[in-house]
Chain A
Amino acid sequence: MDIVFEKVEHVYNARSPLARRALYDVNVAIRSGAYVAVVGHTGSGKSTLLQHLNGLLQPTSGAVKIGEETITSHKRPNQLKPLRKKVGVVFQFPEHQLFEETVEKDICFGPLNFGVPEDEAKRKARELIKLVGLSEDVLVRSPFDLSGGQMRRVAIAGVLALEPEVLVLDEPTAGLDPRGRKEMMEMFYRLHREKQLTTVLVTHSMEDAARYADEIIVMHEGTVWGHGTPEEIFRDADKLTAIGLSVPETVKLKQQLEKRFGVVIPSPCLTLEQTAEAIEQLFVKGERP
């Protein structure tokens, strides 16, 4: 599903003294099947942007087009449920949404709401619990007996169980241990490719954005500051630093090397592998000092 934002503005508590403009003049297109990372300083409007993707928030002006549906300030589809089935959202700290007696029931909750038969939902729960890196015997436990990280995984499984076409992730790995983070990110990437999902990931990790995303949207103070491939976005480190962001460590390393040795490294050095290769090239070419 293609997603298009046209002149989207969102004001919280509109028409009251507490009004607060969280988004303005957002024009952005996300093509079907893309992996898009949304980065930006805290409070820049990332979460607000995401909630427009499945009609949880309506723009106060402008329009959001999601596939066939168009959502504007005065019009939204009478039936939001089909849209919510297609667009799965993992919120910031999704563990707060758990409520059932057992993990299995909680994972099945979403699918059952959308009319999936019970045995089918249960089968899916068994499959997903392994996918998110937990063992099957967790299924019969209460979600409230689990650790924070385990709860997070269960909540994510609960959203994946909807089998959405568009997967929206709001800082899904915040607070996980390094290995858990890597596993999770790899898992999302695998799903993205295997199921041809459209993935929108909000992250504070420039490394993750560089490694996984096809495109990066940079939010700044409520509007889109930049939109491009990781290579384009991370080309100008100073500008990013000025709005409170940074470039991946590997890009910093590349810049240091270029400065020290007075060479130009053609590779964008977005991942460790690319960087290692670029350094190898330096040695092979014999350009080392």
Chain B
Amino acid sequence: MIVIDKISKHFGSITAVDMISFSVSTGEVLGFLGPNGAGKSTTMKMITGYLPPDHGTIQVCGFDTVDSPLEAKRNIGYLPEGAASYGDMVVQDYLSFIADIRHLKKEKKKRALDSAITNMALEKVLWQKIETLSKGFKRRVALAQAILHDPKVLILDEPTDGLDPNQKYQVRELIRNLSTDKIVIISTHILEEVGAVCSRAMIIAAGKVVADSTPDELARQATQAALPQQHGHDILPALNEVFRTLTAGSMQ
């Protein structure tokens, strides 16, 4: 369970996040949509404890991210936007380092490493330095790092950005198959992804939540409002439409 209560974040004169409140319960896969600079990544950085909110509070699995940061962080797996990792390490050593930090020992560590490596198909690059990997592989290493300790909460900032179609499919399958006792928050610019994996979609624009509903419901509203019926069950054009109408005001 994640409970977010009226959080804001300012960078100088920029208001990146403006009094956002929402909660996510176990089993939900929440998708953040929104134009560039809307505040999606900033919101995620606050949930994961990288940035403290200027106002408001965030609870992750019952732990306040500012008052009990370690407990909150233990429950979170995070794929940062830039997918930064230690470039001077080989993949195997890097993941092993993360496992050690996460207190995974012996058998448990071995199983965790095996499953993350298989899931992200990293077998071929295990002994390659991360800085020499292609962009997609770097992201896959960072994803493996995020899912390694089988966290209750997964925060993935544009998880499929830069992945090849096979891996995109693989990652979506992974998110879909995550057992129902988890919370997943992803951000994406690919609207079909929201329809494919998310149980709930939230559109953020200019630091505010402008829509929060199931992907189907969002599409239905849009269809009723503007679009002709011919799209039938394909929700993609409808999602596109609702995205454009709701965020139109915030585009500079």
Q: Do A and B come from one complex?
A: no
Interface residues, chain B, CB within 8 Å of chain A?
none
